[in-house]
Amino acid sequence: MQAVGHTLYIICVVNRIPADNNDKDNDKEMKTVRTAKELREAVGAVKADGRSVGFVPTMGALHAGHVSLIERARADNDVVVVSVFVNPTQFNNPDDLRTYPRTEEADSEKLQAAGVDIAFFPSVEEIYPEPDTRVFELGPVAEVMEGAMRPGHFNGVAQVVSRLFRMVQPDRAYFGEKDFQQISVIRRMVEIEGFDIEIVACPIKREADGLALSSRNVRLTPGQRAVAPAIHRILAESVDGASGRSVDEVKRAVTDAINAVDGMEVEYYEIVNPAGMQPIAEWSEAEGGAVGCVTVYMGDVRLIDNIKYPA
């Protein structure tokens, strides 16, 4: 928190320095909006000037993974918009929605420090003035893994992201590869809706010990946090040991190794062809290399991760 506070202090000072200062990231104030009308007006002014817009949709509880998406968006675009909204329609478990961390004040500070131009903090009523009853025909990419385990989840993702895309009208939108399947689902939704938006997938951001950054990590107990990096370690070891082993053998080895860690329980481990997110039986079915996707329960905290297997 000291680092974030220090950055904010510099922002205040830089704003009082004459205009010859060239630090474009720290000499501007972030615009915070809460309604669709305010958002459209702010983005409309940007578009009228011919400037490009990069968009990072989030559910808040921001961490370095989100910041890496913002940094990529800043590098690619003239203006960066970030939304912070915990979307109720993508939670099939009411307890998960209830316990999802909400940290608006800290999130706002992090967005300002990251150089975001427009921050959108809508209410549920603002996003859904009336119930969204749309059902998206997302196809096979949404029917396996997360789609099978969390009925309705991806339809809720498609609902909220399509609404946000219409409000923001970005040139590009940025998503982290930790939610690997979700990126394929969003690309399918973009195709269905006919959006002219580039979907940019960004690498997983990890802690120094390998744990994939997630807003849910804050719910881990100290003991759980200490062993959680075993997920990535076991996945990485499976890549090294995949040569000469079948897909099923690798899946069993990963599942058994994670389940052997005290307090961990694998919900699923699938090795898929990233082109269509379908499970494979033979390595040759994924011409450019397969991806292993895992979900692990630690108590009531659900963690996801993935790893790429070379072709």
- Nearest in space to 199 (alpha carbons), one of 55, 13, 1: 55
How far apart CA 194 and CA 182 sit, in angstroms, is 18
Work out the number of other CB atoms within 10 angstroms of the CB of residue 298.
23
Only one residue has tokens 């603002």, namely 126
How far apart CA 184 and CA 186 sit, in angstroms, is 5
Pairing assessment for the beta strands 172-176 and 53-58 based on DSSP bridges: parallel
**Kind and range of the H or E run holding 118:** strand 118-120
The active-site residue, picked from 6, 63, 66, 232, is 66
How far is C-alpha 153 from the geometric centre of its chain's CA atoms? 14
Give the relative orientation of helices 64-76 and 104-113 as an angle to the nearest 10 degrees: 40
Say if residues 171 and 124 touch (Cβ distance below 8 Å): no
How far apart CA 136 and CA 77 sit, in angstroms, is 30
66 has catalytic annotation: yes
CA distances from 242 to 55, 75, 164, 177, 300 (A): 37, 36, 41, 22, 31
CB-side exposure of 222: number of CA atoms within 13 Å?
Answer: 0
How far is C-alpha 145 from the geometric centre of its chain's CA atoms? 17
| Catalytic machinery residues | 66
